[in-house]
Amino acid sequence: MIFDKTDIISSYFFDKENNKNITYAEIKSLEIYFKVCGTCTLYLKKVQMGIELRDVLILISSDQKEVELTLNFPEEQLRSLEPNALKENLNRLISHVIQLCKCCEIPNWIMGYEPAEDNDMKIIEWK
């Protein structure tokens, strides 16, 4: 997941170890943060995840037992593509999300059009 900090529209991070909210600037490594704290919301102008996505909302939630990633983005970014381009972009995006989740030890994830949790907007759910 690659983005420039100027592409952050809004963000929320919670530091469980110190029981306080922190800013993106206070995080030295997202990979380490997700392994330790795991709860955040990132709303980005754009992010590179195998393909460039715009207006992306990334939610990572963690209770003591499970961590889940939800990736939301506007429907028109993929729906307007030709079938072959859509397949290629989805393959790159899904491969990137799988790699990110393995690296950050996130076993459950949902990806789809905003709101990704709705069954009719969900592209894929991994549990």
Give the model's pLDDT for residue 64. 66
pLDDT along the chain (127 residues), means of 10: 93 87 86 74 95 93 79 90 94 92 84 88 89
Q: What is the pTM of this model?
A: 0.84
- ∠ at Cα 77 (62, 97), nearest 5°? 35
Give the model's pLDDT for residue 8. 95
Domain boundaries, the chain: 5-126
Question: Is 53:77 a contact under the CB 8 Å cutoff?
Answer: yes
Give the model's pLDDT for residue 37. 66
